[in-house]
Structure 1
Amino acid sequence: MKKFLIFFSIFFLFLHSVKAQTTEIWVVRHAEKDKSNPEEKNPDLSEEGKVRARDLAAYLKKEKIDVAFSTPYKRTHQTLDSLIISKVITYNDIKSLVDSIKTNYLGKKIIIAGHSNTVLEIIEAFGGKRPREELTDDDYDFIFRLSVKGDKAKVKMDQYGVPHHL
């Protein structure tokens, strides 16, 4: 009986510590894409976008990011290229992204690269409140930091690189 109580106590403490962990998540839109060929469905970053990707790395230089998530497009992957991250995982939909992070990366530091039409949805999917009504096609300079604990997220918005909005 004594061993059972000790095991149960340790198991309960483990569950409590897992639930209490805060996951830090940065969400960005991909940097500026090359628009020279309007027919291109999967363009690379433009020169301006490459500079912004380096600015993102500078912005996050003091953070040790454990894992990154990117959509399957070149521009989202290239936005993360300047960061030193051992693992970049491709995601296709927001629900599976959130489920994967909540299941496998609790308590980690994560960056997610998305698109103007998904960034705010990602924030909401983690339980955060939209810090802006929308992101336009010209909004490349915002970065959102989420502190996620359970089903709630605190959201902070900032800008990095050359600002589009002063």
Structure 2
Amino acid sequence: MKKLLLLLSVIFLFYQSVNAQTTEIWVVRHAEKDKSNPQEKNPDLSQEGRTRAGDLATYLKKEKFDVAFSTPYKRTNQTLDSLVIPKVIKYNDIKSLVDSVKTNYVGKKIVIAGHSNTVLEIIEAFGGKRPREELTDDDYDFIFRLTVKGDKAKVKMSQYGVPHHL
């Protein structure tokens, strides 16, 4: 009986410590893509986009990420290339991304590169409030920092690099 109580206590304490950990998630849209060939489905970053990717690295230079998540597109990977990240994981859908983070990366520091039509949905999927109504195809300079603790998420929106809307 004592062993059972001890085991249950250990499980309870483990559960409490996991729930008490704060996961820090940075979400960014990929930088400007090369639009010279409208038929290209997987374009590289443009020169402006490569500059912005460098600006992202400068903006996040004090952050030490445990892992990054990127869609399989070149532009999301290239946006993260200037960051020092030990592991980059590809994701195809938001649900699997959130499940992976909540299962394997609680208490870690994460950066996620997405697209104009997924960034705000990613924030909501982690329980955060949408900080903007939408991101347009011209919005490249926003970055969002989520702090997730248990079922609660706080969102802070910032801008980096050259402002896209002058």
Q: After superposition, give the CA deviation of every residue in 1:81-128 in whole Å (9 maximum; x if it has no partner).
A: 000001111100001100110011000000000000000000000111
Unaligned runs of 5+ in 2: none
Q: Is 1:145 matched up with 2:136?
A: no
For 2:70 and 2:87, how far apart are their aligned partners in 1?
11
Letter in 2 for 1:81: D
Q: After superposition, give the CA deviation of every residue in 1:17-42 in whole Å (9 maximum; x if it has no partner).
A: 01111110000000000111111110
Which aligned pairs between 1:113-124 and structure 2 lie closer than 5 A? 113-124=113-124
SS in 2 for 1:63: coil
SS in 2 for 1:156: strand
Match of 1:28 in 2: 28
SS in 1 for 2:6: helix
Identity among equivalent pairs (%): 85
Unaligned runs of 5+ in 1: none
Letter in 1 for 2:23: T
Which aligned pairs between 1:81-96 and structure 2 lie closer than 5 A? 81-96=81-96
Scaled by the length of structure 1, the TM-score of the pair is 0.96
Q: CA deviation at 1:130?
A: 0.5
Q: CA deviation at 1:79?
A: 0.2
Q: After superposition, give the CA deviation of every residue in 1:42-68 in whole Å (9 maximum; x if it has no partner).
A: 000001101111111111111110000
Letter in 1 for 2:154: K
Letter in 1 for 2:20: A
SS in 2 for 1:146: strand
Match of 2:41 in 1: 41
Scaled by the length of structure 2, the TM-score of the pair is 0.96
| Aligned Cα root-mean-square deviation (Å) | 1.1
Q: Where has structure 1 moved over 4 Å in runs of 4 or more?
A: none
Q: CA deviation at 1:6?
A: 3.1
